[in-house]
Chain A
């Protein structure tokens, strides 16, 4: 916002102050600077008066950046032993009228398929079309829930073709921890296995899958998401996040950080981290965030980056403060600094706990010696091994993992799907604030449920493309009556790149929910709904088709012929690749062959998807 205002108002950034007010409901739709945000500033300058703009719900529908409707096509190579070998993925995104972060969104529809189940070779083709609709952008999950839907439904079909349990199939194909994927994403901790086992056990999967009576079903799906994008949102070589700590001689600690709490509770994370390291109580911490006059820059609340990035900056600043306090306390107590412990608002000799100072006394001691006490921390993600064009989308310091099992009831007379319960396990690395972590998981389930069953941006094609239903009455999202019971398991597999091992939780748990529901609908009534939302009319139509001996499926039947550019070929790490594209082979790849070694593998060309495919090949 600060940058956009400086640019548009043609004022030096140093003459502009932006203070983020307490707000909620980010979800990516507000990532772009909006026209009205600039307009209020300009209008206030012109009139010399405070200015407020309030949008109608309809205006919000037109200006926010929603999820890209995406048509997908996927083909997976499986060898005779049931081993997944290669994957070819195509996406076509409906971008709406503006760019937003659409280029990144398009890349994201191809980026994270590889971090859950390993493939020897991977090929991705994606395109984003401008259309005369409201613009789409980085909505919660940013370009990854769509391909995740396709991939997880596709895997359900592959498992059925192979006669395998879908949970077992996934457990046999887990990306190993501390590895590099075919598209050069560096995976650190990887807790998907425990996640799958938790939900399988908790839901009674073994007794239910393919065993429930007609009309009731159970389905499994998984997902993974970034804990912050590896590259900055605008090109620069500065830290992605910064924290300044100010120690008060009364024992208080002020934490200043540019990060914006958009309701997810990121301010609390800063407080907990600093309190933990300095051994003080949370009420002694004063968090001041998102004020360009006071706080160091943090790139923003997007890509699930705040806990990891501003958290790491806070860790660094707090450790530096502890070091200063330890040095002067050690001198005063005449013991080695490395014997000092920080806990219970005291700095004391770990071998002799009675010997020590209160935290405030420690601050005073250091301030007497050095003057005002301020420390700083900043964070820049580690470099990614990918060096090819497009490798900038997908890298992250750490990946979160989740697995969900949905139980559904389908009324075969109406096609109405209800979801009584979802079991979900999320590998968050480490819970810093378990209440907000649970909140993010449950909120993700809620949002995923709405996307799976009802939410849809619909337009009147006969009337100048107005939004068909721009109101909260007509744009349907679940009420408390539709919301399912949620059984949440938090898996803690600490990641060396996260503060105290923490990874993201704000977006990842949404990903497995829609495909788990789609797979459960298939288990319940034997029809594939390859398009969300899974509405009653789609289910009923598929059921009727099946009754009449046709394919029991509802979804797209084709993928348009797109004049793709020549592929960039990057040998994977195990083919002595170095992350760079190799030239020379770019023009020679026959269409359709890239990525899947065709000869030794049976191709189960299962089209499946969030809107999926055609082209069946066996």
Chain B
């Protein structure tokens, strides 16, 4: 059986305490919220922190505030995925986010796993998400303990995949992330929170804590999330499609198309959005957007299912997601 390495477990009651503990622990310290990603990873020696600082006891992180009458909503990063997808205001104003949260893994893991944890999810690769012995057998890879990327051996970078369901939705919605550091607090757009590198996949400093996600007010936009995976539960996405459109009358005034699980960060395809702006989401505009999204998607041979099929699914699912928004618009009174 796989065993956890030894570690000290600290339980701060406040953000300030947590930040201090992390500063004291230095690079050997890590934050943990639900642990549904970190603990299995520790068993496989992906992360080997000597000190774990639990964020579970910090009340402030699990609040959901605002959102009355479609106003902006603030969601604490410690809110569990179950609480998120069941929250009334989230369901009413941000059904795409509720849907993405509900599609993560299984009920058991959603009960433990947090919104913030899903956003900070370690990138995944089936050369990496293996036991220590398996990884040793292939001489390891650059993401942990090794020097090479087996997915693309001539590549200088790591191609592990951002496999979060909620991340592409937050980018599509234009959410803002609040990060607390020991000296100050800063706010970054969701898009800037992620970076397209399998190892340095977050722009967050390791000591900073993602505390809150601010979702924009509801003012005539619509969004949806489509997830592709082998099975209806358990599995990480092999493709996520988050689309957001701002309607003005029957025309699209603004749009965002964001793909999950085809890069090391959520991939926002501006050309795809351009293709539908000004249209009423007619078939041609949708086909153009789907084609534009297809091009930059670069799935690699490091997840379930074949990469050619996964790339092809970008076209299909961007089309289907936009059709869903169009159909919903036309059924509105």
Contacts and interface: CB of A to CB of B under 8 A. Distances in A.
- B and A form one assembly: yes
Interface of A: 54-56, 58, 413-415, 454, 460, 462-464, 466-471, 473-474, 476, 478-482, 535-537, 540
8 contacts: A462-B150, A466-B137, A471-B129, A473-B235, A474-B126, A481-B233, A482-B232, A537-B306
A476 B304 contact: yes
A62 to B, nearest CB: 10
Contacts of B232: 479, 481-482
Given A414-B313, A415-B309, A54 B1 contact: yes
Given A479-B232, A482-B232, A537-B305, 19 more contacts: A58-B131, A58-B133, A58-B134, A413-B316, A414-B316, A454-B230, A460-B138, A462-B150, A463-B138, A464-B138, A466-B134, A469-B126, A474-B304, A476-B231, A476-B235, A476-B304, A479-B231, A481-B233, A537-B309
A414 B227 CA distance: 13
Contacts of B8: none
Contacts of A537: 305-306, 308-309
Contacts of A540: 309, 312
Nearest to B2: A56
B91 interface: no
B188 interface: no
Contacts of A478: 231
Nearest to A58: B131
Interface in B191-248: 228, 230-235
Interface in B1-43: 1-2
B81 to A, nearest CB: 17
Please name the 5 residue pairs, one residue from A and one from B, whose CB atoms are nearest each other, closest first: A481-B232, A537-B309, A463-B138, A54-B1, A537-B306
A466 B312 contact: no
B130 interface: yes
A474 B234 CA distance: 10
B137 A479 contact: no
A476 B231 CA distance: 8
Contact of B137 (A454, A464, A473, A480): A464
B232 to A, nearest CB: 3
Contacts, number: 66
B1 to A, nearest CB: 5
B99 to A, nearest CB: 16
Nearest to B150: A463
A467 B126 CA distance: 11
A56 B1 contact: yes
Contacts of B308: 537
A495 B320 CA distance: 55
B140 to A, nearest CB: 11
Interface of B: 1-2, 126-127, 129-131, 133-134, 137-138, 150, 228, 230-235, 304-306, 308-309, 312-313, 316, 320
B315 to A, nearest CB: 9
A479 B304 contact: no
A474 B229 CA distance: 11
Query: Does more than half of chain B's interface fall in helix, strand or loop, or is it mixed?
Result: loop
B234 A535 contact: no
A58 B230 CA distance: 21
A536 B304 CA distance: 12
Contacts of B312: 540
A114 to B, nearest CB: 37
B36 to A, nearest CB: 12
Nearest to B137: A466
B233 A479 contact: yes
Contacts of B137: 463-464, 466
B40 to A, nearest CB: 9
Nearest to A414: B316
Contacts of A474: 126, 129, 304
A445 to B, nearest CB: 17
Nearest to A478: B231
B231 A481 contact: yes
A58 B131 CA distance: 8
A470 B129 CA distance: 10
Contacts of B138: 460, 463-464, 466
Contacts of A468: 126
A535 B305 contact: yes
Contacts of B134: 58, 466-467, 470
B230 A476 contact: yes
Contacts of B235: 473, 476
Nearest to B236: A473
Nearest to B138: A463
B1 A536 contact: no
B309 A56 contact: no
Contacts of A467: 134
Nearest to B312: A540
A121 B223 CA distance: 64
Nearest to B141: A463
A354 to B, nearest CB: 61
A248 B233 CA distance: 53
A463 B309 CA distance: 23
Contacts of B234: 473, 479
Nearest to B135: A466
Contacts of B131: 56, 58
Contacts of A466: 134, 137-138
A481 to B, nearest CB: 3
Contacts of A535: 305
B38 to A, nearest CB: 15
Nearest to A53: B1
B46 to A, nearest CB: 13
A471 B134 CA distance: 11
Nearest to A482: B231
A470 B132 CA distance: 13
Contacts of B306: 537
A259 B320 CA distance: 56
Nearest to B40: A473
Contacts of B230: 454, 476
B304 to A, nearest CB: 7
Nearest to B313: A414
A200 to B, nearest CB: 30
A189 to B, nearest CB: 39
Contacts of A470: 130, 134
Contacts of A55: 1
A266 B311 CA distance: 49
Nearest to B1: A54
Contacts of B320: 413
Nearest to A463: B138
A451 to B, nearest CB: 14
A499 to B, nearest CB: 40
A536 B305 contact: yes
A118 to B, nearest CB: 41
A578 B278 CA distance: 84
B250 to A, nearest CB: 26
A466 to B, nearest CB: 5
A55 B131 CA distance: 13
Contacts of A482: 231-232
A460 B130 CA distance: 13
A291 B320 CA distance: 60
A567 to B, nearest CB: 40
A538 to B, nearest CB: 9
A470 B312 CA distance: 27
Which of B126, B150, B235 neighbours the largest number of chain A CB atoms within 10 Å of its CB?
B126
Contacts of A454: 230-231
A467 B127 CA distance: 11
Contacts of B126: 468-469, 474
Contacts of B2: 56
Contacts of A462: 150
